[in-house]
Structure 1
Amino acid sequence: MAADQPNIVLLFADDAGYGDFGFQGSQHFKTPHLDRLAKSGVRLTQFYVSGETCGPSRAGLLSGRYQQRFGYEEINVPGIMSPHSKLLGDEMGLPTHLKTMGNHLQDLGYRTAVFGKWHMGVADRYHPLRRGFDEFYGMRGGARSFFAYENLDQVAHENWIERDFENYQEHEGYLTNVIADEACDFIQRSDDAPFFAYVSFTAVHTPMQADPNDKDTFPQLEGTRRTAAQMMLALDRACGKIIDKLSDLGLSENTIVVFTNDNGGPMDTNGSSNYPLSGIKGTQLEGGIRVPGIISWPSKLKGNSVYESPLITLDLLPTFVAAGGGDPEAIEGLDGVNMLPFLQGKTDGRPHETLHWKMETRGAIREGDWKLLRYPDRPAELFDLAKDPAEQNDLARQHPEIVKRLFRDMFAWELELERPLFMLRRAEEGWSSRRTDQFRSPPAKEY
């Protein structure tokens, strides 16, 4: 089987703006390597995440299940936002009874590795090497400096750079570049088995720190927006280095390369832009949950093509398993579907007629092209995404029967869920206090 199994590389950005890529139409940000990847594969125009913040979104990605089903709804672990949550920090993580994407691919004979941000728990039992990955280089936490720390005693241990298990040593140079170099080294060494590389970049998450080599780029931009463009340039260059390594080793034709992001861009903290969508990270508007998506597999998927039906990051696990020779339908409880028959034109219709999002009392449901947004403090809103992807025209009053139907379907889904495992937070983290109407309108143009 190994001779036929594709290698798999998942390039995962952090807090990138929906519109901040050349293949997404940006006129300011430069992403030539990712633009080239998009031309080699399929661009997913309606690609979603299962959560509007980093931790829950990644829990869904790695499990192939709505994270609310196992209680990972509320919090970005580790919980370090208050004295109370500090006490629980080591207890927070992706539940250990769940098999991850790495576990399933190991079962199929893959060599697996994580590079960069883990963010699925800092306790040893949540460590990548105990969750289906053979190698790890990065940090257990969610954000850190892009440069080496001089005094680790002043830094939370989950943000130390770690190689495999408890081998801590700060990196040299700019972290985005180092992550790419480590991934390339893993690919170079993996010549005796198919491999899966989960390359989880920390860019373009805060802190806003650009590679010094890019300090003179984007003179037409200012402030945080300029720094974000420089960080994106470095991210694109790092992705290009990995893509070129595959080509140099003659692996491109039979390697699945996916590029996507963990949630919408925060905009107000990292200068990102979700244009032409409304909303930001932490909201369930399209700008908070719709993300760029590319999947390339030259030997199996037609290049320079577009797929326009809704897909979600939950679909990546069953897609990878199917591509690797496994049977995703034999995996109990998956919410994702194998994308390949749809992308290859072998199966008609939509992969998902219904998609869900939930955090605390806020919720959203998409059925067909109708999307309902439920709020704790004001009436629900209804949008026709086929005609209004920027969610500017609330149709709830014109279609009360659709509102009622979507509420019923939302409630029925919520009855299937577990109670949240981690419920300390929110006001201190800031997301729940944001009114989505503050970020209702997209920029008049890309800024």
Structure 2
Amino acid sequence: MKRSILFMLALVCAISTQVVAAGTPPVELSSKPNIVLLFSDDAGYGDFGFHGSVHFKTPHLDQLAASGVKLSQFYVTGATCGPSRAGLLSGRYQQRLGFEEINVPGIMSENSKLLGDEMGLPTDFSTMGNYLQELGYRTAVFGKWHMGVADRYHPLKRGFDEFYGFRGGARSFFAYSNPKKAKHENLIERNFGNYKEHEGYLTDALANETCAFIERSKDVPFFTYVSFNAVHTPMEPDPKDKGEFPQLEGKRRQVAQMTLSMDRACGQIINKLKELGLYENTIIVFSNDNGGPMDKNGSSNYPFAGVKGTQLEGGIRVPGLISWTGRLPAGAVYDKPMTTLDLIPTFVKAGGGNSDVLEGLDGVDMVPYLTGANKGRPHQTLHWKMETRGTIIDGDWKLLRFPDRPAELFNLAEDPGEQNNLATEKPELVKALFKKQFAWELELQRPLFMLRRQEEGWSARRADEFRVPPSASY
């Protein structure tokens, strides 16, 4: 009997040693990690301390970067808010769902009145919330929804147990003095149909509500999607930050102040996890929906060319941080392409599910790549499309297709700022990439919303205007 016990102890120790050696510390098999997705709006790639900003203050996000992995080549699936979020929440290229051209709701064309509330994320596809609910997670959205304002598109009908925020795409950071005069999609709503404006500054209110959700969900696995409307317009900093960043002026100063508020809110949420003893069993992700619009909100996408609405790197490459104590290395940088499409497979696998059997997803589980267990590329090829514009990244090569001029070709490994167009030097490669892009486009659904949107100023202008990266003195 004694020998049997000693043998079992030795076997357990051997197994534990092998697991630790593989870089994956043992955890309780029944313990699902909590998941917190922090998502900013229209932030500039260069406007964070962890990306080297010399003016902006983001101490809490900098600490998150130090505690986890920084994704240096992290992409969204669209260069504007709505399409990007459709890809994030569905785990599929949004063009597969017919969600391509329109930033729902409220496109700028007068013809949009013909569709109105009909525009939204199609309801015959599962969302990130649905997948995690099926694994036993309590789910919630805080902040901007922007996936349709009709009731059938509501978060509570799309896989989320709780909602506090607004259905539309942008609103004031302060409470409306006369809510009856505001559009209903811009009003603050708790769960379904309960409209009551928030108190104080909206970024703070979203953090407070998220912390309250974490508090009451601490005994079950939970997923919270914190969808800040910061630093999207209107440019309305918190009055308590009015003395910050005196070296900056105009919108540049305002966006720095709004970024500081958002960072403080992220810190409040992370500190709540630590206070409740949940931090070490929580996956925390921070990212942004598209590149900064620069002239709209004063953001900077340094060191990349391009802005929101363009498919240059400054329009589609975004900040990406992921932390999971004990499972992912701390202070690491991962430099191969990853995308928001990878979040659902990562969350599902971490939550005890099998993402390999979920049909239609376009992403991969990030963890084996981030731990070094898989040395390959998560994605050989990535695609973007909006109307007749198209972009493909294949390995280190990136091809941009335009409706009004020849295609452009760049080697991102050598020229991430997209300054040296090699299309005329490599015509065969251009042809091959065109064919790959066309083959992908044959898989897509026709756009559901067949209105040509009226481009906002920065996305209608030629990409050449944003070819030169902004000054490094950001």
TM exceeds 0.5?
Answer: yes
Q: 1:366 aligns with which of 393, 412, 415?
A: 393
2:71, 2:321 within 8 Å by CA — same for their partners in 1?
Answer: yes
**Counterpart Cα distance in 2 of 1:432 and 1:146:** 25
- Paired amino acid for 1:121: G
Question: SS where residue 280 of structure 2 aligns?
Answer: coil
Who is 1:203 aligned against?
A: 230
1:423 deviates by 2.8
Q: Does 1:117 align with 2:141?
A: no
Q: Does 1:305 align with 2:327?
A: no
1:79, 1:88 within 8 Å by CA — same for their partners in 2?
Answer: no
**Counterpart Cα distance in 1 of 2:458 and 2:58:** 30
- Structure 2 unpaired stretches of 5+: 1-27
Who is 1:213 aligned against?
A: 240
Q: 1:35 aligns with which of 56, 62, 65?
A: 62
1:15 deviates by 0.2
1:253 deviates by 0.8
Who is 1:418 aligned against?
A: 445
Question: SS where residue 207 of structure 1 aligns?
Answer: coil
Who is 1:274 aligned against?
A: 301
The structure-2 alpha-carbon separation of the partners of 1:412 and 1:444, relative to structure 1 and needing over 3 Å to count, comes to same
1:428 deviates by 5.0
Who is 2:8 aligned against?
A: none
1:81, 1:425 within 8 Å by CA — same for their partners in 2?
Answer: no
Who is 2:23 aligned against?
A: none
Who is 2:38 aligned against?
A: 11
Q: 2:179 aligns with which of 139, 149, 152?
A: 152
Who is 1:446 aligned against?
A: 473
- Paired amino acid for 2:424: R
**Counterpart Cα distance in 2 of 1:364 and 1:195:** 36
Who is 1:401 aligned against?
A: 428
Cα deviation code 1:98-122 (max 9, x no counterpart): 0000000000000000000000000
**Counterpart Cα distance in 2 of 1:48 and 1:121:** 23
**Counterpart Cα distance in 1 of 2:471 and 2:258:** 24
- Paired amino acid for 1:130: K
TM-score, length basis structure 2: 0.93
Q: Does 1:283 align with 2:323?
A: no
> 1:4-403, aligned counterparts within 5 Å?
4-403=31-430
Report the number of matched residues: 447
Provide the alpha-carbon RMSD of the alignment: 1.1
- Paired amino acid for 2:347: F
| Percent identity for Structure 1 against Structure 2 | 73
Cα deviation code 1:320-369 (max 9, x no counterpart): 00000001111100001110110111111100000000000001000000
**Counterpart Cα distance in 1 of 2:253 and 2:456:** 26
- Structure 1 unpaired stretches of 5+: none
Question: SS where residue 170 of structure 2 aligns?
Answer: coil
- Paired amino acid for 1:338: D
The structure-2 alpha-carbon separation of the partners of 1:148 and 1:63, relative to structure 1 and needing over 3 Å to count, comes to same
Cα deviation code 1:354-390 (max 9, x no counterpart): 0000000001000000000000000000000000000
**Counterpart Cα distance in 2 of 1:375 and 1:428:** 15
1:426 deviates by 2.5
1:152 deviates by 1.7
1:322, 1:338 within 8 Å by CA — same for their partners in 2?
Answer: yes
TM-score, length basis structure 1: 0.98
**Counterpart Cα distance in 2 of 1:432 and 1:172:** 35
**Counterpart Cα distance in 1 of 2:364 and 2:426:** 31
2:139, 2:224 within 8 Å by CA — same for their partners in 1?
Answer: yes
1:85, 1:425 within 8 Å by CA — same for their partners in 2?
Answer: no
- Paired amino acid for 2:89: L
Question: SS where residue 11 of structure 1 aligns?
Answer: strand
1:429 deviates by 3.7
Question: SS where residue 196 of structure 1 aligns?
Answer: strand
**Counterpart Cα distance in 2 of 1:82 and 1:397:** 37
1:81 deviates by 2.0
Question: SS where residue 31 of structure 2 aligns?
Answer: coil
1:445 deviates by 1.8
Question: SS where residue 274 of structure 1 aligns?
Answer: coil
- Paired amino acid for 1:403: V
Question: SS where residue 369 of structure 2 aligns?
Answer: helix
Structure number, greater radius of gyration:
2
1:71, 1:418 within 8 Å by CA — same for their partners in 2?
Answer: yes
**Counterpart Cα distance in 2 of 1:58 and 1:434:** 23
Cα deviation code 1:58-97 (max 9, x no counterpart): 0000000000011100001113423320231210000000
- Paired amino acid for 1:73: E
- Paired amino acid for 1:16: A
**Counterpart Cα distance in 1 of 2:107 and 2:193:** 21
**Counterpart Cα distance in 2 of 1:67 and 1:80:** 17
**Counterpart Cα distance in 2 of 1:92 and 1:80:** 10
1:176, 1:235 within 8 Å by CA — same for their partners in 2?
Answer: yes
Cα deviation code 1:39-60 (max 9, x no counterpart): 0000000000000000000000
1:2, 1:193 within 8 Å by CA — same for their partners in 2?
Answer: no
